[in-house]
Chains A and B, each alone.
Chain A
Amino acid sequence: MNVGRNTVKEPVKISKEYKVNQFKKGVFISAFASVPVALLITFSYIPLCNMFYYSFTSWDGLAKTKKLIGFSNYITIFSNPEYFMVFKTSLYYLVGAFIQMAIALYFATLLTNKVKGGNFFKGILFFPNLINGVAIGMVFLCFFQVGGTLDMVLKALGLQDWIHKWLGDRSINNMTLAATSIWRYMGFNMVIFVGAIQSISSEIYEAAELDGANRWQQFRYIIMPSIKRIIQLNLLLAINGALAVFEIPYIMTDGNNGTATFVIQTIDTAFKYKKVGLASAMGMVLFIIVILVAIIQTLFLNDKREERL
């Protein structure tokens, strides 16, 4: 779950204005804006609008005509367990995201303390975030396979009783995949938290030290309140992240054996089972959830801003 990448920005305000011929200005604006806007509309908005339309049809993606069937697709999603049960998979990744955030916060706190080789450790912990998703899938297929790296390590530690079919066993395979996801994305949150903690003025620490505050008190009363907002924001975005999980389970298990996520289910419904109408409705459901989270996030941000004033 790539938490935190999707964030709202305030639109830029213009204070001044070029004093040029209105016609010239119009031509210039059209010339510069037309291509980027056309690309944005063609590949972001037209698909979204079409998806909205398809979601009310029984289209298979090939037929010349599309038959309107009202809300049937939406009813199917919420009444047929085959479709709504995949939301359960997301719960594993949501819990994973919380654990990920806790680990990231822990390491961020350590790294912002005086530490030898801090950059080295930060680099190692962050690097997985940059690795190609297919490569990560392969690395962990090898790591978790029967008799693979993890089993060997457990054997060496005398913990052979702990060995499981990490990817085959339905009761734990989603946890295995969520753990892989934590390995991949933890460093990203960590770097964000490091940035936030470093923006706290060092004078506050000095004052706290003079007052005899210990490490825990410093963490609890200085670091936590300063980065509370960014943590809450990241947790909120974790909901989106958990619903949008795709690459790791798709590459590692093809979504088989109970590891299908909502996105994998949508993609398979459209391209494997040729139910474009139903898949579009699933896409719309995800879009609506994402928008709802964004609205909550905006309300929440405004709240905080008023508090500060």
Chain B
Amino acid sequence: MNKLKSNPLGFLFIIIKYISLIVGAIITLLPLAVIFLASFKTSAEYGSTGILELPASFLNFENYIIAFTKGNMLVGFANTFINVSITLLGSMICGTMIAYILHRFQFAGRKVILGLFLIATFIPAITTQVATFQIMNYFKLFNTRWSVILLGLGTDIVSVYIFLQFLDGISYSLDESAMLEGASMLKIYTRIILPLLKPAIATAVILKTVNLYNDFYSAFLYMPKQRLHVVSTALFKFKGPYGSNWEVISAGVVVIIVPTLILFLALQKYIYNGVTAGSVK
């Protein structure tokens, strides 16, 4: 290490390192900072002040009120909350059940089911909506929240893989001793597997929450009815009526990013783990 410190090249490296990181951070934050500042400006102020000039008052919530009420964001948050909650609950139950079965039982068709879950990751999700749309119509799910909820459940493959991987680390002898004590298979699932899967469930819930919260296209395609708008589709609608009212659009953008930011700051470790768990080691 001492050798590096006395080395002028090493010193240059340290300078380049910090300059790169600071430039990277500025490029990442600048577009967001402009939006944040704009969200507190009045319409006249937005037109007359520079983009990085502070607003006259950070207590000007006018744009936020418009975003929530006229901009339908309040409805969006309510719907997003309902849809995401139901989908999460359903997909964690379904995901742990199928992972338990596939991991602990040998039966005819097991390989087929594993294969189905594997190949499904390769089906391009957006283009198949061309055909999925007909299924939604067939079940009369168009313009109901169940379209998006069932789609979220039916295409939840990543969670299943996280559970399968995690089950590798849960010793089979636990199942065996419970069985010797007369526990049923259902009891093993609820009393042993589920509690031990908690860390995997946490990772899957976080990844899934971010994905569902950010989902735009399925809500846009299947729930055009305004009463069913989620945050993504509500914000997308800002493009029309508020086309040039950047201060109102900015408020909508801030409102949609804040929950994500809080989640990220609180659960950074889980999020990074989730990202690396989803990639090839």
Enumerate chain B residues within 8 angstroms of A44, measured Cβ to Cβ: 120, 123, 128, 154-155
B residues 138-163 touching A (CB-CB < 8 Å): 150-151, 153-155, 157-158, 160-161
- B236 proximal to A (CB < 8 A): yes
Q: Chain B contacts of A132 at CB under 8 A?
A: 213-214, 216, 231-232, 235, 256-257, 260
Interchain CB contact under 8 A, B279 and A230: yes
Chain A 239-281, CB-CB to B under 8 Å as 1, else 0, gives: 0000010110011000000000001001100110000100110
Of A45, A46, A61, A128, which contacts B28 at CB under 8 A? A128
Q: Is the CB of A123 within 8 A of B105?
A: no
A157 at the interface (CB under 8 A from B): no
**Residues 1-38 (chain A) with a chain B CB within 8 angstroms:** 4-9, 11-12, 14-20, 24-26, 28-29, 32-33, 35-37
Look across to chain A and name the residue whose beta carbon is closest to the beta carbon of B32. Answer: A139
A101 contacts which chain B residues (CB < 8 A)?
none
Distance of A274 from chain B, by nearest CB (Å):
11
Contact of B120 among A45, A191, A276 (CB under 8 A): A45
Instruction: Please name all residues of chain B whose beta carbon is closer than 8 Å to the beta carbon of A56 when the two chains form the complex.
Output: none
Contact call B150/A39, Cβ cutoff below 8 A:
yes
The answer to whether the Cβ of B43 comes within 8 Å of any Cβ in the partner chain is no
Whether A7 lies near B280 (C-beta < 8 A) is: yes
Q: Are B253 and A115 in contact (CB under 8 A)?
A: no
Q: How large is the interface on B (under 10, 10 to 19, 20 to 34, 35 or more residues)?
A: 35 or more
Q: How far is the CA of A37 from the CA of B115 in the complex (A)?
A: 12
Determine whether the beta carbon of A51 is less than 8 Å from that of B128: yes
Q: Which of A36, A124, A128 contacts B94 (CB 8 A)?
A: A36
Which residues of chain B come closer than 8 Å to A48, judged between CB atoms? Answer: 123, 128, 131
Residues of chain B with a CB closer than 8 A to A117's CB: 21
SS class of chain B's interface: helix, strand, loop or mixed? helix
Kindly name the residue among B30, B268, B272 whose own CB sees the greatest number of chain A CB atoms within 10 A.
B272
Chain B residues with Cβ below 8 Å from A115 are: 17-18, 21
Q: Are B122 and A110 in contact (CB under 8 A)?
A: no
* Inter-subunit contact A11/B111 (CB<8 Å): yes
Asked if B261 contacts A133 (CB within 8 A), the reply is no
Given A7-B278, A134-B235, A139-B35, decide whether A246 and B123 contact each other with a Cβ distance below 8 A.
Answer: no
Asked whether, in the complex, the Cβ of B21 is within 8 Å of the Cβ of A18, the reply is no
Could you tell me the distance between the alpha carbons of A139 and B238 in the complex, rounded to whole angstroms?
12
Q: Please report the total number of A residues contacting B with Cβ < 8 Å.
A: 100
Residue pair B113, A267 in contact (C-beta under 8 Å)? no
Which residue on B lies nearest to A264, using beta carbons? B126
Residue in B100, B127, B257 whose CB lies within 8 Å of A282: B127
Contact of B113 among A33, A134, A152, A230 (CB under 8 A): A33
List A78-135 residues whose CB lies under 8 Å from chain B: 106-107, 110-111, 113, 115, 117, 121, 123-128, 130-135
Known contacts A44-B123, A132-B214, A149-B51: does B131 contact A191 (CB below 8 Å)? no
In the complex, per-residue mask of B60-85: 1 if CB is within 8 Å of any chain A CB, else 0: 00000000000000000000000000
Instruction: Please pick, from A17, A43, A183, the residue contacting B132 in the complex, using a CB distance under 8 A.
Output: A43
Compute how far the CA of A214 lies from the CA of B122 in the bound complex, rounded to whole angstroms. Answer: 42
Q: Does B58 contact A (CB under 8 A)?
A: no
Chain A residues, CB < 8 A from B150: 39, 42-43
Interface check B86, CB cutoff 8 A = no
> Given the known A-B contacts A32-B98, A33-B101, A37-B98, are A152 and B257 also in contact in the complex, defined by CB atoms under 8 Å?
no
Question: 9 extra interchain contacts, Cβ-Cβ under 8 A, other than A18-B105, A26-B107, A126-B272?
Answer: A8-B121, A9-B118, A16-B176, A33-B101, A131-B214, A132-B232, A250-B217, A290-B123, A290-B124
23 contacts between A and B (CB under 8 A): A4-B279, A15-B172, A25-B185, A28-B186, A35-B94, A39-B153, A40-B116, A40-B157, A50-B135, A124-B24, A128-B28, A130-B264, A132-B231, A133-B214, A134-B235, A138-B238, A138-B239, A139-B253, A142-B249, A188-B275, A215-B13, A246-B217, A294-B122
Q: Which 6 pairs across A and B sit closest by C-beta, in order of nearness?
A: A43-B154, A283-B127, A39-B154, A47-B131, A36-B98, A51-B131
Interface residue ranges, A against B (CB under 8 Å): 4-9, 11-12, 14-20, 24-26, 28-29, 32-33, 35-37, 39-48, 50-51, 54, 61, 106-107, 110-111, 113, 115, 117, 121, 123-128, 130-135, 138-140, 142-143, 148-149, 152-153, 183, 188, 191-192, 195, 209, 212, 214-215, 230, 233, 244, 246-247, 250-251, 263, 266-267, 270-271, 276, 279-280, 282-283, 286-287, 290-291, 294, 301
- Residue numbers of B with Cβ under 8 A of A are 1, 3, 9-10, 13, 17-18, 20-21, 24-25, 27-32, 34-35, 38, 50-51, 94-95, 97-98, 100-107, 111, 113-118, 120-124, 126-135, 150-151, 153-155, 157-158, 160-161, 164-165, 167-168, 172, 175-176, 179, 185-186, 189, 210, 213-214, 216-217, 221, 231-233, 235-236, 238-239, 246, 249-250, 252-253, 256-257, 260-261, 263-264, 268, 271-272, 275-276, 278-280
